[in-house]
């Protein structure tokens, strides 16, 4: 490993999204609002020290629309990573937690009580999401040898990354605030344990 530099990775959540608030918005493809996009852009610019040299995004519009515009402005190629989609909430897509609980109170109680280990009906579990995201993360960083990468993604993806990278217990991961435009940075060095450098270090 001599001579290999650590890679700085910034993971950034999308901003405010159009449509109903406080719903299970997993596979739904609502775009960001203009205000949400402006906020994410401002935070990305603050975090771009050193400058980003690789950019990747979830394929969903609330991430990809911004990532495409930002990559173009930075004159960088953009990678679209299917693995970094939000958790799929199945039959609960577009419902508030209260509406999902009314529809299926027993299943919803299990979902909440197990921190997602029991998935939504016809949806993904946290175990499914961890597997998908973990494999995608490893593939994306397989050639990492320094530099600064940006990943634009979702709160659910960020939570399972924290589970995978720093061994955070699933129940504890849901006690961390990851609001719109939340972000964290990780130092990645092949053969070494990842190091969490900061979490939500920029004000919105």
CA distance 26 to 103: 18
* Residue 86 known to be catalytic: yes
The residue annotated as part of the active site, out of 16, 68, 79, 86, is: 86
The residue annotated as part of the active site, out of 14, 148, 154, 188, is: 14
CA distance 30 to 63: 10
Give the tokens for residue 156.
Answer: 């659910």
Give 13's strand partners: 153
| 193 phi, psi to nearest 5 deg | -70, 140
- State whether the Cα torsion 28-138-151-174 is positive or negative: positive
Q: Which residues are catalytic?
A: 14, 86
């Amino acid at each position: 490993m001599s001579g290999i530099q650590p890679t700085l990775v910034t993971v950034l959540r999308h901003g405010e999204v159009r449509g109903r608030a406080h719903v299970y918005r997993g596979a739904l493809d609502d775009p960001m609002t203009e205000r949400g996009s402006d906020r994410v852009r401002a935070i990305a610019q603050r975090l771009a020290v050193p400058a980003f040299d690789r950019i990747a995004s979830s394929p969903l519009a609330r991430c990809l629309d911004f990532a495409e515009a930002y990559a173009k402005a930075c004159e960088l190629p953009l990678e679209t990573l299917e693995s970094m989609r939000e958790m799929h909430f199945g039959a609960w897509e577009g419902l508030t937690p209260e509406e999902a609980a009314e529809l299926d109170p027993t299943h919803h109680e299990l979902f909440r009580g197990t921190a997602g280990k029991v998935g939504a009906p016809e949806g993904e579990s946290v175990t499914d999401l961890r597997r998908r995201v973990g494999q995608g993360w490893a593939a994306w960083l397989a050639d990492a040898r320094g530099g600064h990468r940006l990943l634009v993604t979702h709160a659910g993806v960020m939570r399972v990354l924290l589970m995978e990278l720093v061994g955070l217990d699933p129940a504890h991961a849901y006690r961390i605030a990851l609001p719109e435009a939340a972000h964290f940075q990780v130092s990645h060095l092949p053969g070494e344990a990842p190091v969490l450098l900061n979490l939500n270090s920029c004000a919105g």
